[in-house]
Chain A
Amino acid sequence: MKTKRSALVLLFGCLLLSGLMTATATAKEPWEKIKIPALNAFQMPAYERVELPNGMVLYLAEDHTLPLIELSATIRVGSLYDPADKLGLASMTGSVLRTGGAGERTGDDIDALVESRGLVVESYAGTGTGGAYVSCLDEDLDLGLALLADMLMRPRFAEDKIELAKQEQKASISRRNDETMSIAMREAPKALYGADHPLARYPEYDTVAAVTRDDMVAFHADYYGPDRTYLVAIGDFDTAAMKARIAQAFADWAPARKPLPADPEVPWHGRTVNVASKDGLTQAIVLLGHRGIRNDHPDYAALSVAAEILGGGFNSRLFKEIRSNQGLAYAVGAAPGTGWRFPGMFMAYTMTKNETVEEAAKGILAEIDRMLREPVSAAELQFAKDLILNSEVFDYDSKREVMDRLVTLEMYGYQPDFLQAYQAAVKALTPADILAAVQAAWKPEDLTFMVVGTPSEFDGDLSTFGTVNQIDITIPAPTPQLVIPAATPESLARGMELMKNLRDQTGGKAYAGIKSLHEVSEMTVQSPMGPLAITLDSTVQLPDRLRMVTKLPFGEQVMVVKGNQGWAKGMGQSQDLDAAQAQELLAQFTSDTKFLLGRLQDHEFQALEPMEIAGKTCNPVAFRKGDETTIYFLDAENGLLVMTQEPAVNQMTGSPVTQKAYVKAYGELGGIKLPVAVTITQDDEDFAEVVVKTFERNPTVDAALFEK
């Protein structure tokens, strides 16, 4: 399938006419008397669009001025498709296509080729698109095409270059709070669309660390393919021959394994007022925004012009008012919030000293309100039209720019003459059109605030705009990777020493004397239905008696074990346990740390390398039960338990998880220094809060408790 377009001649004379007419109508100033002759006609570059049998779309434009060829592939792949726990995957895959080598060549081979042959070879992946680029002499076309095809079809993903890409990602994460503008631009989409929205996510240390070579290989196979690739070729070639060579180079490329995912919805959000504070700043960033529109919105032209009038260039209202008249800022402006693929973010922003944050925000809101209250003046509109229409020639002064625009238009479903239609729409706009468009699209009451600065210096607490949320921009520390090497006599001796110390610090001989325990805890569990309050009342009598009462908001359940027998009863049902079930339930209680500390000598404990947990340096100790390992993280300073990590099963999903119990508070109960407040996470997601209400050591136990 192919379509061939004849060169389209764009005449600028008509535009010029409108300019001349306004000039002659009011010509009195010296600069208005200067004659402006007709602009020379300008031709849209000729090109051909071809779709290969495998679905790859080519845009070819010959240019014989120099013996050079430029090949630029755009693929519909990007961080939109990153799994939540592997953010950074697309970006690193995109760069390692090139740095990690491809086909027969290593990345260093490609570096050397670039040096010796004067090639340019690059690859990348952004949020919504990725790409690869080669430029070469026409005599090197075979090599250039081979490199491009290798990168896209046969990347090697060398481990050392993956590691280098990870280093870069980690360094950039560590530096992301250094410049205030990057904080604002990162946090604003989170505030607008939610932190988990694919357009608002950013890699973290853990998500980068989690990416493996296998992930990259799979990501490449899943999302790279000819069915979603657009290749622009510009340069010294014959179109027919070039088509054939490209078709041959990419003939074996299989379609991507996964269908192109649907684009995420971009939600509308009402106003939130968000402040990210950073100490020691003398200048704050104030950004106000809400969801904008896609470029196929019927008011695209009107809203673009409106944003130009509000906060475009020198003539804009924000520039004049906030910068020139009030002197509050150097940087001030507005963006229309348009986008080819997704609605953009309509926004107005400024950078001003802390002491004028509220004043500047109010100034911006006042200008937005004025745009909604009254039509723009005829002069303002004419100015904006002139600005857009008189600079039209710059839309066509680069072949590359024109071809790239055609690809964008096709990828996102626009007509090739979109720009011409836009120019025509701009020309026809009236002040009433603009007013109607902004009244429909701009909702100042919904503008979300993102302010980055030093709030103690602000001229107000911003509460006049709404309830203020403090945004925590602390960079989550990487979760330390736990390594359990083979045990040595030294590590086992050290492990035992640490556990004995824990015992002696918290109860000493009290543990060994435990015959029975009674404990009441209150838990708040995160469930799919929301937080769930549960009370657990358990009584254990060694060696083989257990009674556990679970109180839920909607009823109560009792489980009892007595030797090899057991039963459960609750919510109108009753069931007997078999011997195995009974013993397993009992074991869950008797293997508890409190019992363990009473008989340390029966077990082995292995000391591991110290690591940081919850801000404390800890000595981890591994305790193996069968093929499962529990790790106790003991505070290096006082020897107390900071966290316990063990494998568990999520009660809701039934899937295996890593459960961590962080000790929040200790209390003296029943002669033991005991964790009385504990936060439990599963796979690092909050799971439950536990508070111990009652703890009795060796209480008198009524034997009737264990009877049916």
Chain B
Amino acid sequence: MSQILQRLVPATVLLALVCAVAATAQTVDLESQVQEFTLDNGMRFLVLEDHSVPVFSFRTVVRVGSANEVRGITGLSHVLEHMAFKGTSVIGTKNIKKEREAMAREDAAFAALKAERNKGVNADPEKLAALEEAFTAAKDVAREFVVSNQYGEIVEQNGGVGMNASTWTDYTQYFYSMPSNRLELWAYLEGSRMQDIVLREFYTEKDGPVTEERRMRVDNSPMGKLFMEQYQNLAFEANGYHHSTIGYMSDLNNISRADGRAYYDKHYIGPNITVAVVGDVDFAQVKAYAEKYFEGVPGGEPEEMETFEPDQLGEKRLVMKQDAQPLLLVGYKIEGINHPDWPVYQAIADILGQGRTSRLYTRAVKQDQKAVQCAAFPGFPGVLYRNSLLVLGIPAKDVTAAELEDVVLDEIDRLVEGGATAEELAGVKRRAKANFVRGLEGNDGLASQLAMTQAMTGDWRNVFREVDKMDAVTLEDIQRVAKTIFTETNRTVAMSEKQAS
């Protein structure tokens, strides 16, 4: 019986399985099949073999994200994610020596331009134009040495699928799947970008695609603007969640390649990196290739975070005006994923706003018809540090965000006063089991769960502990935590109301 086939069964079906006592005996103990090793540089590998289809998936999670950024370099974690597709000193270059020289001249031209530009109204327009021209010329020279997109090409040419990466507040992750006969090639490719990145096309990339990505995800997206920028700015003032992962436009303009290099050297170090490989691979072989291709990643000490979000002393509120239908966010500060109350936050969010039988859906959508969607979840915009348990409401037609807020607050009050029912809590626990199995679907899903849990909690085994932790939550826990977090002073409300432009 192959494990991969079990995992390929859509997770939704597995929900049925975990709910059935009769069937639980047949679930395979995945935990005992996960093998791991750590390289001398501190880099952690997690491997799960499954030979039913000759493919494998991997997930590299680097413990660096926008929460690590300080003022002046917001958006840099994400820029580096883009740079990780630009190649190495071997891949993507026609002549690395000459290319580095050209890049140095490019850097000098950028520094001169930036200095003049940042004089603002006092900048000399003629000088600015000349510096702009010189910078463009320097970029053009450097580009002469670039073999465009060669890194991605190699992956695609070798049958890699689903190649992508993402950056968020707490992490940067890289992933794709490959035919399993390309394991060594993969190790070479992934290992080299974790240690030998060349920040080529740095300025073109951040001023072009990265800036356009900001325009797409934030500036021109009503939801993105409210969620990723306005809410974060409002709710978090001290910790790294106060700015969006995409970064401020002025920082994107000002970041230099030297900033990027320093940031990469600081964070792309062994102890910050976890790689999970799942599929038709041999553990010993993964280990051998890892030792060959990843040993060069430097070791070091991860950065200690020192600024923590203080308690909020009064409600924060923002009514954003934009030419779009209304949206509602109601958030309450909660502690991070490694706090013992985390499963209680999850239970509360589930009871309030997950699924067709949740309180907010039943009341706001089905009963009052004030919303077409009303959901709650912990962990926005990150899980490592103090974050938000967030309610997201999409008002029904002709309903304002404020009207929907009344309904949401009423349901939250009801939970604080009356607590949850035993039946609701039992439902939460059943769904926790289902979600656990759902997360294990497919090679890629498993690799993601393992690597992410390791990176966020320090132990991949927590993947398999979540259900037990949820099982331990009591009705008293829910009442206690609800009373603590659902206070007016701990609340941040950000809504968007329509205003034609």
Residues in chain A within 8 A of chain B (CB atoms): 12, 16, 19, 29-31, 34-42, 63, 65-70, 111-112, 115, 117-120, 135-137, 139-140, 163-164, 167-168, 170-175, 178-180, 235, 278-283, 313-315, 319-320, 323-331, 351-353, 383, 386-387, 389-394, 396-400
B240 smallest CB distance to A (angstroms):
24
Closest to A320 in B: B148
A624 smallest CB distance to B (angstroms):
32
B209 touching A327 by the CB < 8 A rule? yes
Also in contact, A179 and B221, with CB within 8 A (given A30-B90, A137-B17): yes
Q: 20 new A-B pairs (CB below 8 Å) besides A179-B223, A324-B149, A390-B179? A: A35-B184, A36-B158, A112-B357, A118-B19, A118-B20, A164-B369, A171-B395, A178-B324, A313-B152, A314-B151, A315-B156, A324-B205, A330-B216, A331-B216, A351-B212, A383-B157, A386-B157, A391-B159, A393-B179, A394-B159
Closest to A175 in B: B325
Contacts of A397 in B (CB 8 A): 8, 53, 55
Of all A-B residue pairs in the complex, the 9 with the closest CB atoms, nearest first, are A327-B208, A390-B159, A314-B152, A118-B19, A283-B215, A118-B16, A330-B213, A330-B212, A135-B13
Most buried by B among A38, A42, A173, A282: A282
A282 touching B152 by the CB < 8 A rule? no
A70 touching B430 by the CB < 8 A rule? no
B132 smallest CB distance to A (angstroms):
14
Complexed CA–CA distance, A315 and B153 (Å): 6
B204 touching A327 by the CB < 8 A rule? yes
Contacts of B394 in A (CB 8 A): 171, 175
Also in contact, A400 and B10, with CB within 8 A (given A36-B185, A118-B18, A387-B159): yes
Of residues 1 to 43 in B, which have CB atoms within 8 Å of A's CB atoms?
A: 1-2, 5-6, 8-10, 12-20, 22-23, 26
User: Could you jot down 6 A-B contacts, CB within 8 Å?
Assistant: A34-B185, A68-B16, A324-B205, A326-B208, A390-B159, A394-B159
Contacts of A398 in B (CB 8 A): 8
Contacts of B210 in A (CB 8 A): 330
B16 touching A137 by the CB < 8 A rule? yes
Closest to B443 in A: A397
Also in contact, A314 and B20, with CB within 8 A (given A29-B90, A175-B325, A283-B220): no
Complexed CA–CA distance, A398 and B13 (Å): 14
Contacts of B12 in A (CB 8 A): 120, 135
Contacts of A39 in B (CB 8 A): 54, 179-181
Interface check B222, CB cutoff 8 A:
yes
B387 smallest CB distance to A (angstroms):
26
A305 smallest CB distance to B (angstroms):
13
Also in contact, A65 and B208, with CB within 8 A (given A320-B148, A331-B216): no
Of residues 168 to 206 in B, which have CB atoms within 8 Å of A's CB atoms?
A: 177, 179-182, 184-185, 188-189, 201, 204-205
B257 smallest CB distance to A (angstroms):
15
B157 touching A387 by the CB < 8 A rule? yes
Complexed CA–CA distance, A391 and B322 (Å): 44
A31 touching B154 by the CB < 8 A rule? yes
Interface check B300, CB cutoff 8 A:
no
Contacts of A136 in B (CB 8 A): 13, 16
Partner of A178, one of B16, B22, B155, B222: B222
Complexed CA–CA distance, A180 and B365 (Å): 26
Contacts of A179 in B (CB 8 A): 221-223
Most buried by A among B15, B188, B280: B15
Complexed CA–CA distance, A330 and B181 (Å): 32
Closest to B143 in A: A325
B222 touching A118 by the CB < 8 A rule? no
Contacts of A235 in B (CB 8 A): 9, 13
B294 smallest CB distance to A (angstroms):
15
B78 smallest CB distance to A (angstroms):
11
A19 touching B220 by the CB < 8 A rule? no
B219 touching A65 by the CB < 8 A rule? no
Interface check B396, CB cutoff 8 A:
yes
Also in contact, A167 and B396, with CB within 8 A (given A323-B209, A353-B215): yes
Contacts of A38 in B (CB 8 A): 181
B212 touching A329 by the CB < 8 A rule? yes
Complexed CA–CA distance, A592 and B425 (Å): 70
Complexed CA–CA distance, A501 and B372 (Å): 44
Closest to B249 in A: A282
Partner of A115, one of B151, B159, B216, B430: B430
Partner of A68, one of B13, B53, B222, B434: B13
Complexed CA–CA distance, A66 and B143 (Å): 55
Of residues 109 to 148 in B, which have CB atoms within 8 Å of A's CB atoms?
A: 143, 148
B430 touching A394 by the CB < 8 A rule? no
Most buried by B among A19, A66, A172, A400: A66
Interface check B385, CB cutoff 8 A:
no
Also in contact, A281 and B153, with CB within 8 A (given A117-B16, A118-B434, A327-B209): no
A391 smallest CB distance to B (angstroms):
4
Complexed CA–CA distance, A281 and B160 (Å): 36
Most buried by A among B51, B151, B189, B356: B356
Partner of A174, one of B91, B204, B207, B325: B325
Contacts of B366 in A (CB 8 A): 164
Closest to A351 in B: B216
B188 touching A31 by the CB < 8 A rule? yes
B209 touching A329 by the CB < 8 A rule? yes
Interface check B468, CB cutoff 8 A:
no
Complexed CA–CA distance, A136 and B12 (Å): 9
Interface check B501, CB cutoff 8 A:
yes
Also in contact, A394 and B161, with CB within 8 A (given A39-B179, A118-B19, A135-B13): yes
| Chain B window 84-108, contacts with chain A (Cβ cutoff 8 Å), 1 for yes, 0 for no | 0100001100000000000000000
Contacts of B216 in A (CB 8 A): 283, 330-331, 351
B161 touching A325 by the CB < 8 A rule? no
Partner of A328, one of B90, B163, B212, B222: B212
B372 touching A168 by the CB < 8 A rule? yes
Closest to A321 in B: B148
Closest to B201 in A: A324
| Chain B window 401-436, contacts with chain A (Cβ cutoff 8 Å), 1 for yes, 0 for no | 000000000000000000000000001001000100
B149 touching A314 by the CB < 8 A rule? yes
Closest to B496 in A: A178
B306 smallest CB distance to A (angstroms):
34
B179 touching A68 by the CB < 8 A rule? no
Of residues 210 to 242 in B, which have CB atoms within 8 Å of A's CB atoms?
A: 210, 212-213, 215-216, 219-223
Contacts of B53 in A (CB 8 A): 42, 393, 396-397
B17 touching A118 by the CB < 8 A rule? yes
Closest to A137 in B: B16
Also in contact, A324 and B222, with CB within 8 A (given A171-B394, A394-B177): no
Contacts of B9 in A (CB 8 A): 63, 65-66, 68, 70, 235
Contacts of A399 in B (CB 8 A): 5, 8
Interface check B397, CB cutoff 8 A:
yes
Closest to A179 in B: B221
A175 smallest CB distance to B (angstroms):
5
B363 smallest CB distance to A (angstroms):
13
Complexed CA–CA distance, A522 and B442 (Å): 72
B426 smallest CB distance to A (angstroms):
10
Contacts of A19 in B (CB 8 A): 158
Closest to A323 in B: B209
A313 touching B156 by the CB < 8 A rule? yes
A327 touching B158 by the CB < 8 A rule? no
Contacts of B324 in A (CB 8 A): 175, 178
Closest to A177 in B: B324
B354 smallest CB distance to A (angstroms):
12
Complexed CA–CA distance, A135 and B12 (Å): 7
Interface check B251, CB cutoff 8 A:
no
B356 smallest CB distance to A (angstroms):
5
